[in-house]
Amino acid sequence: MTAPVIEFRQVALTYPGPPPVAALRPCDLVIRRGEFVTVVGPSGSGKSTFLNIAGLLDAPTSGTYLLDGLDTGALKDGDRTALRGRRIGFVFQSFHLLPHRSALENVTLAMVYSGVARKERRQRAREALVRVGLGHRVGSLPTRLSGGERQRVAIARALVARPSLLLCDEPTGNLDTANAQAVLALLAELHADGMTVLVITHDPEVAGRGARTVTIRDGVLREMAGTPR
Ligand SMILES: Nc1ncnc2c1ncn2[C@@H]1O[C@H](COP(=O)(O)OP(=O)(O)OP(=O)(O)O)[C@@H](O)[C@H]1O
Ligand SMILES: [Mg+2]
């Protein structure tokens, strides 16, 4: 068995309100290096709450969250931000690319604070774009790319800092069927290469792509029957 990337021990989050909302009920969850896990649930079930905790954007109100074995509860804000930048690649539904920068610049800019030398940054960005099948479009502006290509640029940007975890929030939510299939196929390839991938979705079909699926309903996380562990 590989080492845990995410380990939740009785992690819960209640928004203070009033009235208080128990958005995530105490849950235990282990996601190991190289797993491809999908988290599926309806609107308001707690998916974003879960993602914000896993992505170190929000701290749980109780319980312990270990990322790569490190207790994140003990971190100061700056350390938490640095850890997020190093360990987690984010992919969102709406791409979040800079419209007036080329694909290559969008990916290169993700490494500005990484300490990687400038020349090396461009090299790595180019490699990441080749990896997602966009080696021929590195100079293109996002507005000249299809939705699926834009999402692949966003995935290259998420990967370029070599994170331990790729955290995707409805990565196909803005894509037509063909582009959605291409992005899901890319995520499956990255998983086959050893990347740890976590996809959050309300779409059961997307959820079915995970090697393992966790459901969330009314803030309660449950392992889906039939998937390992
Ligand atoms: N900042 C907040 N303050 C109070 N309650 C909140 C806050 N953010 C979310 N909630 C509540 O917490 C619950 C879970 O919300 P969450 O955003 O995690 O759901 P979701 O599964 O991501 O939904 P969607 O699919 O619509 O994005 C909901 O009842 C929501 O109203
Ligand atoms: Mg949400």
1-56: per-residue pLDDT in tens? 899 999 999 999 999 989 999 999 999 999 999 999 999 999 999 999 999 999 99
Ligand nearest to the Cα of 92, by number: 2
Protein residue with its CA nearest to atom 4 in ligand 1: 15
Q: Give the residue-averaged pLDDT of 169-188.
A: 90
pLDDT recorded at residue 44: 94
DSSP letter at 111?
A: T
Cα distance between residue 133 and residue 92, in whole Å: 19
Q: Per the structure block, which two tokens stand in for 41?
A: 């649930």
pLDDT recorded at residue 228: 54
Protein residue with its CA nearest to atom 7 in ligand 1: 15
Cα distance between residue 202 and residue 109, in whole Å: 31
Ligand nearest to the Cα of 15, by number: 1
Protein residue with its CA nearest to atom 12 in ligand 1: 23
Tell me how far the alpha carbon of residue 44 lies from the centroid of ligand 1, in angstroms.
5
Protein residue with its CA nearest to atom 18 in ligand 1: 46
In this prediction, residue 175 has a pLDDT band, given cuts at 50, 70 and 90, of confident
Is residue 159 scored above 60 in pLDDT? yes
Decide: 119 and 84 in contact? Cβ < 8 Å. no
Q: Per the structure block, which two tokens stand in for 15?
A: 């928004």
Q: Considering only CA atoms, which of 150, 148, 184 is closest in space to residue 168? A: 184
pLDDT tens for residues 76-91? 989 999 899 889 999 9
Q: Which atom of ligand 1 is closest in space to residue 219's alpha carbon? A: 14
Decide: 3 and 32 in contact? Cβ < 8 Å. yes
Cis peptide bond prior to 20, omega within 30° of 0: no
Starting at the edge strand that comes first in sequence, how are the strands of the sheet with 36-40 ordered? 88-91, 165-169, 196-201, 36-40, 212-217, 220-223
Whole-structure pTM value? 0.91
Cα distance between residue 95 and residue 110, in whole Å: 13
pLDDT recorded at residue 217: 96
Tell me how far the alpha carbon of residue 127 lies from the centroid of ligand 2, in angstroms.
32
Q: Per the structure block, which two tokens stand in for 5?
A: 């990337």
- Which residues neighbour ligand 2 (ion) by CB within 5 Å? 47-48
Ligand 1: lining residues by beta carbon, under 6 Å: 15, 21, 23, 41, 43-49, 202
Q: Other CB atoms closer than 10 Å to residue 171's CB: what's the count?
A: 27
Q: Residue 143 corresponds to which amino acid? A: T
pLDDT tens for residues 103-132? 999 999 988 777 788 889 999 999 999 999
